[in-house]
Amino acid sequence: MWEPGRAGLPRSALPCYLRAPLTTHKTMKIGPYDIRRLTRAQLPRDTVALARFLLGKVVVRARDDGWLAGRIVETEAYIQGDAACHAFNGPTPRNRSLFLRHGHAYVYLAYGTSWMLNVSSEAEGVGSGVLIRALEPMAGMAVMAQHRGTEKPRDLLRGPGRVAQALAINRALDGLDLTRDRRLWLGHEVVNGTSPAKIGVSTRIGLTKDAHRPLRFFLKGSAYLSGPAALNR
C-alpha cells in the first residue's frame, strides 16, 4: 500500500491533508505546537464526559492551503431524551451522523445559514453529540481570516457558525471519523507541566426546549468564549 512520504517525496512537500497522521503515536508540528491525534479509546463514550474532556483539546483541519487549528474552549452536550437534541424524534437524513459511534462528525446547517460541528458521543445507534461552540486560534489564522472576512482574532472562532466557516467545514465532512480522517480530526497538545484550566458550567445558548439544563461547558477565563458574559463566570 502506498503511504505518503514513502514514495520518494519528502513529507514537507506533501499537502497538509496527506501529511495528517492516520495513527496516534505520530506527533505533528502544527504551527508552533506539537499535536497528537486522539484515538477512539481515549474519547469518553458518554456525552457529558466527552463535552468536558474535549475542553482544551484541539480541532485540526488539513487543507491543501495549510493547517488550520484551534483549542476547544466551549462545548455543549446534547444527550438522548433531551428535547433540544436533534435526535429526539429519531433518525432523519440530516441527523443520522449523531447515531454513529462516538468520535464521528455530525455537521448540519442551522437556520439555513450557519454550519455546526458536533462530535457523536455514545455507542452506535444512540443519537447524542457534543457541539463545538468556540475555539482559541492556534494555527492558520491568515486562512481563517480569509474564510471569515475579518482579521480580528477574537472573531475568527467565537461561535459555532464561525468555527465552521473559519475551518471550511460543511456537509461534505458530515459523518467522517474524527479519529481516522485526514481532513478533520481531534488532537491533544504534547506538553509538559501545564496546569489544567478550571471548567465552567452554564445553561446552553439559544435554546427554547430544555433550556434550563446545565449542559454548556467552557474554560474559565478564556477570551474566546461565545455567549453573554453572565454565562461565562
- In the complex, the residues that contact DNA under the rule CB under 7 A are 76, 78, 84-87, 89-90, 92-95, 98, 106, 108-114, 116, 118, 129, 131, 148, 150, 155, 159-163, 165, 204-209, 226
Strands 66-78 and 216-219, by their bridges, are antiparallel
Instruction: Pick the closer one to DNA by CB: 118 or 202.
Output: 118
d(C-alpha 74, C-alpha 184), whole Å: 18
Write down the least CB distance from residue 37 to DNA, Å: 23
d(C-alpha 15, C-alpha 171), whole Å: 22
For residue 106, the tally of other CB atoms under 10 A from its CB is 29
Write down the least CB distance from residue 221 to DNA, Å: 20
Write down the least CB distance from residue 96 to DNA, Å: 8
What are the CA-CA distances from residue 169 to residues 14, 18, 174 (Å)?
21, 18, 9
Instruction: Pick the closer one to DNA by CB: 95 or 179.
Output: 95
Write down the least CB distance from residue 85 to DNA, Å: 5
Instruction: Pick the closer one to DNA by CB: 85 or 186.
Output: 85
d(C-alpha 166, C-alpha 198), whole Å: 26
Which one, of 73, 51, 72, lies nearest residue 122 by Cα?
51
Instruction: Pick the closer one to DNA by CB: 23 or 113.
Output: 113
